[in-house]
Amino acid sequence: MKAAVITFPGSNCDRDMHVGLQRATGIAPQSVWHKDTSIPEGLDLIAVPGGFSFGDYLRCGAIAARAPVMNAVVDFAKRGGLVLGVCNGFQILIEAGLLPGALMRNAGLKYVCKAQTLRVATHDSAFTAGLGDTATYAIAHHDGNYIADDEELARLMGEDRIAFTYEGNPNGSQMDIAGILSENRRVLGMMPHPERMNDPALGGTDGERFFNGLVGALETA
């Protein structure tokens, strides 16, 4: 699997994403800078990492979503490329219009940072096909409270596009939503960080299964 990781000013999980992908694929992912106007050829996956791009100014992810590289990312997604957005990356993908809804300030108004158990709500995607029924990843966010109107929520439910839900809602998200898929199931946005639960030293290895599962799904596809 050929992957790239995008770095914005303020990204801080790009390195973890890099390590997660490299361990699973055996190949170092390419690094793409936010000012690049094109992406490397022949990619299978683009990862938009967590962090605080542009200092969370205006709205989380709003400025990054309009960065030069994002036109290429949107084109890649529309051509059926796999795009993974984690935490701030999820916020960026929503702001870029690749995923529906919005991520608001946590209902408890506090930054939440802990290991979080999730229910894998669908196995019908390259990202989730290799997972069990639950997974524990790290969460670390202030604005992860997912909201969408009733019509959108019904669509997400009806089309089986809710990828992960929280066991014990940490942020007020509607329907406990922790991650969602695009219509073509090739774009995943999620608040929890598999790349930060990728080594026993970090408190768990469920993230390893996430990346290995993704590589496995691509190999069998």
195 given a catalytic annotation: yes
Q: Of residues 148, 178, 190, 191, which one binds another protein by CB under 8 A? A: 148
Amino acid at 7: T
Among 178, 160, 156, 153, CA closest to 168: 178
Cα maximum dimension of the chain: 43
Q: Of residues 11, 106, 116, 182, which one binds another protein by CB under 8 A? A: 106
Question: Is residue 54 within 8 Å of residue 60, measured between CB atoms?
Answer: no
Q: Of residues 109, 219, 220, 221, which one binds another protein by CB under 8 A? A: 109
Binding track, positions 67-96, relative to another protein; x by CB under 8 A: ----------------------------x-
Binding track, positions 18-57, relative to another protein; x by CB under 8 A: ----------------------------------------
Residue closer to another protein by CB (options 62, 72) is: 62
Question: Is residue 207 within 8 Å of residue 137, measured between CB atoms?
Answer: yes
Residue closer to another protein by CB (options 161, 209) is: 161
Question: Is residue 49 within 8 Å of residue 22, measured between CB atoms?
Answer: no
Q: How far is the CB of 109 from another protein (least distance, A)?
A: 5
Which of 87, 95, 141, 208 is the catalytic position? 87
Question: Is residue 177 within 8 Å of residue 72, measured between CB atoms?
Answer: no
Angle between helices 206-220 and 14-25 (to 10 degrees): 50
Amino acid at 136: T
Question: Is residue 192 within 8 Å of residue 138, measured between CB atoms?
Answer: yes
Which residues bind to another protein, rule: CB under 8 A? Answer: 58-59, 62, 66, 95, 100-102, 104-109, 145, 147-148, 172
Active-site positions? 87, 193, 195
